[in-house]
Amino acid sequence: MLANPYYIGQVTFRGVHYPGKHEPLIDSERFERVQYVLQAHNYAGEKQFSHNHYLKGSLFCGICGSRLGISYSRNGAGDVYDYFYCLGRQRNKHSCSMRATRVSRVERLIERHYVAIQLPPERITETRLSLGEALAIRRRESGAEEDVQKLRIARLTDERARLLRLHYADAVSVDLFAQEQRRITLELENARRHLEEITLAFDVIENHMERALQLAEDRHAAYVDADDAVRRLFNQAFFDKLILHQDGAVTHELAEPFKLLLDPTLPDQLSGGFDGDSVQSDALPVERDLSTHNEKDLAGDCEAHCSNVSVLVGAAGLEPATGRL
């Protein structure tokens, strides 16, 4: 229901979106944020209604790679014991030898893991300087990119208006109109997304970068002091996976942007990736007739030309996804 375009003033007939006569209930930006939040609810794969725990969905088995689930057992005296267990072993006990581990022990192991991956102050300083230099170059390079995308948006907007006039004049079939409408909408979203990345206020990017570096430096203290809800957000923001091994060791797969910030080769990558002419040629998309390109081509076009710096600020900024609008 919350994905219905009626909220932004559109009606749908046979798969085609038309401007409605009603007033939009919300603006397009808020509607897109709602769609993002709906997707984010399933980000870590946890079921919120059953056996909820802030580590659930983030933990994986160090033997077979399956997710860890949580189980509650009650003894004869009525005492309840909670465990993390391997879902792969539950499905086939011969496929994995991972034993169940008390929840309290896993919580302590994850807390200690935050200490182990703390960034030293000198590394924070080096990364801050390298990113600052990279952003300065992007400021200078963004002007031409912005002009290209504005022209692209203007051309597509005019094309959409002409298509609508042809549709009202019964000059195109409904099927062809729907196909072309989807194509133009996709290309417009692609161009607007690219323009948004280009025109992000650089002071906002720098602010997010600084907040990320502060989190990378002080994350253990912040994690220990946080409540369960915030700990869940920390784990989802920092890690794609927290991997628990049978001997109590913890390893991880970092999520962006921290995968980038914690990469020891980051200063070298920035000094090479933002070097003069190479940035100019790689960053600017070639203006061409996009009507011959399908959705797969357009997705590749966006991936190839998106800002090198934009990985630092995702769809929801640096904070992990929440249900807050």
Mean pLDDT of the chain: 75
Do 197 and 260 fall within a single domain? yes
Confidence of residue 29 (pLDDT cuts 50, 70, 90): low
109 and 202 housed in the same domain: no
In tens, the pLDDT along 211-222 reads 778 777 778 888
Indicate the pLDDT class of residue 302, thresholds 50, 70 and 90: very low
What DSSP element (H or E) covers 243? strand 239-244
| Percentage of the chain exceeding pLDDT 90 | 27
Is 325 inside a domain boundary? no
Where in the sequence is the domain holding 2, given as residue range(s)? 1-40
Q: Is the pLDDT of residue 313 over 70?
A: no
Question: Which CB contacts under 8 angstroms, 24+ apart, belong to 40-44?
Answer: 40/316, 40/321, 40/322, 40/323, 41/323, 43/236, 43/320, 43/321, 44/232, 44/235, 44/236
Residue 14 placed within a domain: yes
256 domain-assigned: yes
Same domain assignment for residues 167 and 64? no
Would the pLDDT of 96 be above 90?
yes
In a shared domain, residues 162 and 309? yes
CA dihedral 260, 261, 266, 272 (to 10 degrees): 70
The confidence band for 248, taking pLDDT boundaries of 50, 70 and 90, is very high
The DSSP line for 119-172 is PPHHHHHHHHHHHHHHHHHHHHHHHHHHHHHHHHHHHHHHHHHHHHHHHHTT-S
Q: Who has greater pLDDT, 301 or 252?
A: 252
243 within a domain of the structure (yes/no): yes
Tell me if 252 sits within 8 A of 242, measured CB to CB.
Answer: yes
Q: Within this chain, do residues 277 and 247 fall inside the same structural domain, yes or no?
A: yes
Q: Do 237 and 92 fall within a single domain?
A: no
Which residues have C-beta within 8 Å of that of residue 15, sequence separation ≥ 6?
Answer: 178
Helix (H) or strand (E) holding 60: strand 59-61
Tokens of 11: 């009606």
Q: Does 89 lie in the same domain as 195?
A: no
Per-residue pLDDT of 118-153, as tens digits, reads 777 888 888 888 888 887 877 777 777 888 889 999
- pLDDT tens digit sequence for 32-71: 767 656 665 554 444 444 557 999 999 999 999 999 999 9
Residue 50 in any domain: the answer is: no
> Nearest-5° angle of CA 196, CA 178, CA 148?
25
Q: Which of the two residues, 243 and 191, has the higher pLDDT score? A: 243
Same domain for 107 and 177? Answer: no
Query: What's the structural domain count of the chain?
Result: 3
For residues 90 and 232, state if they share a domain.
Answer: no
Q: In this structure, are 124 and 112 located in the same domain?
A: no
Indicate whether 73 belongs to any domain: yes
Q: Output 293 or 168, whichever has higher pLDDT.
A: 168
CA distances from 248 to 90, 117, 244 (A): 20, 16, 7
Q: Is residue 53 part of a domain?
A: no
> Does residue 324 or residue 201 have the better pLDDT?
201
The span from the CA of 301 to the CA of 313, in Å, is 20
Q: Do 98 and 236 have their domain in common?
A: no
Residue 27 lies in a domain: yes
Q: What is the pLDDT of residue 134?
A: 80
**pLDDT at residue 46 in the model:** 46
Predicted TM-score of the model (pTM): 0.51
- Give phi and psi for 15, each to the nearest 5: 80, 0
In a shared domain, residues 112 and 169: no
